Amino acid sequence: MNNIPKIKVGLVAVSRDCFPAPLAVNRRKALAEAYTKKYGSEDLYECPITIVESEIDMVNALEDVKKNGCNALCVYLGNFGPEIAETLLAKHFDGPKMFCAAAEESQGTLGISGRGDAFCGMLNASYNLALRNTKAWIPPYPVGDAEDCADMIHEFLPIARVAVGLSKLKIISFGPRPANFLACNAPIKQLYNLGIEIEEESELDLFEAYQKHEGDARIPDVVADMTKELGDNKMLPKLAQYELTLLDWVEEHKGYREYVALTTKCWPAFQDMFRFVPCYVNSRLTGRGIPVSCEVDIYGTLSEYIGLCISGEPVTLLDINNSVPKDMYEESIKGKFDYKHTDTFMGFHCGNTCSTHIHDAHLDYQKIMANTHPAEWCEGTIEGDINAGDITFYRLQSTADCVLRAYAAEGEVLPVATRSFGGIGVFAIKEMGRFYRYQLIGKNFPHHGAVMFGHYGKSLYEALKYIGVEPCEIGYNRPEGVRYEDENPWS
């Protein structure tokens, strides 16, 4: 995927002048070796400069990591560390940064030449970062041996991808929200605060661009690719024309930004004018690393993009849609899976999920829209049950008064036939009933949630904190016995 950043972390070891510099140098070398052995050398650059207490050394290290293409930084306390130089390095590095520290190796090396006191130094580093208003990611337990710190740096990669990705992202939206759809309210101030650009266009602009792509010489190749994916269908030339329209718009309008996400108004006028629905094309672009959300859900596509940066895999956006019927629960879930009825729900959307995550994926028409439009105008959805497996259900949203608020919950899609339509699955999340009431409803979240296919809650939580979401505004499905703030203790 070329729509998310590739992270290269510059590893800089720091050393206080009253400690022996070789201690930090040798520990840095051991860390670099441990990382390369476990994860390869692609993501890490070992800066050869050891910072003592000199601001000049700091400048030299900064120039070195920049020159070697690093877009993220790991400040590694090989010993106590120079508070001023190490935090100035973080302050002046233009990109995400983390701090971690060396643990002591052995009871036999605790003399003056072998003890580093980086455990102590991390406290002063964090204090000085706060004094300089400088943000850095500090792992949950930031002190470890070479292998431990290698794992910390690897855990930093998805956090750094989100930070770099958002700083270079443009969201392009088409059309106002559909009527009666205030749920997708999108105050744009927080987008700018996150470093994101937003381009808002009209449906008319998109329709004009689509018409200009009629007869495009590339359409047969796109049709052939679609046919390989889902088989032949008379709708494919129109869908291919639309796909090329969006891709060309991205190239012509991304401007100085490197990454793009889209959101479109897909009903009700879309069918009247285009005479198809865009769901399948949305799924294809998302599968190629360009999230496209439905119903002009700007924070929905932002959430999808964050998930793409974290997981590196296609994500989707679904309605938290309908309850699982009791007879389905009794027949297919109870006694077979460790979930209460209220832990389950159905996640659905018309047909925007990538075919790689759909069982028996096929093209069809949008059955809800066909209640008010001719069925042939509503063709273009990709339908089928969503594949069983682990998921992370989440969303980042700005409230009407511009507070960033998010939620995340890990769960799974159950291998249960939905007996329904669209792209849909039976989802199960522990304590979903309480989460639904006290987090989703209680904190005024809309009905759209993004889905990563896998358990990524830990990385997502850290990434959300890093980009500026206050921890108190990140909700999760609290275990049984742990109450929400406004939950009745006698309920």
Number of domains into which the chain is organized: 2
Q: Would 481 be classed as within a structural domain?
A: no
pLDDT at position 1 over 70? no
Is residue 261 classed as helix, strand or coil in its secondary structure?
A: strand
Residues 404-455 have pLDDT tens digits of: 999 999 999 999 999 999 999 999 999 999 999 999 999 999 999 999 999 9
Q: Would 461 be classed as within a structural domain?
A: yes
Domain co-membership, 192 together with 52: no
Last residue of a domain, which of 117, 147, 166?
Answer: 166
Provide the β-strand partners of residue 73.
10, 97
Q: Would 93 be classed as within a structural domain?
A: yes
pLDDT at position 362 over 70? yes
Domain co-membership, 172 together with 315: yes
Q: Would 489 be classed as within a structural domain?
A: no
pLDDT at position 186 over 90? no
Domain co-membership, 206 together with 64: no
Residues 21-80 have pLDDT tens digits of: 888 999 999 999 999 999 999 999 999 998 866 888 999 999 999 999 999 999 999 998
pLDDT, the chain, mean: 94
Domain co-membership, 153 together with 178: no
Last residue of a domain, which of 113, 137, 166?
Answer: 166
Domain co-membership, 249 together with 295: yes
Domain co-membership, 204 together with 82: no
Q: What is the CATH number of the domain that holds 141?
A: 3.40.50.10940
Domain co-membership, 314 together with 253: yes
Q: Would 318 be classed as within a structural domain?
A: yes
Last residue of a domain, which of 111, 145, 166?
Answer: 166
- List the domain range (segments joined by +) for residue 61: 9-166
- Scored b (16 or more CB within 10 A) or e, 420-431 reads ebbbbbbbbbbb
**227 Rama sector, left if φ>0, alpha if ψ -120 to 50, beta otherwise:** alpha
Domain co-membership, 137 together with 95: yes
Please check whether residue 188 is in contact with residue 172, taking contact to mean a CB–CB distance below 8 angstroms.
no
The stretch 338-344 carries a mean pLDDT of 98
Angstrom distance (rounded) from CA 101 to CA 79: 8
Q: In terms of pLDDT, which residue wins out, 150 or 370? A: 150
Q: What is the CATH number of the domain that holds 207?
A: 3.20.14
Q: Would 128 be classed as within a structural domain?
A: yes
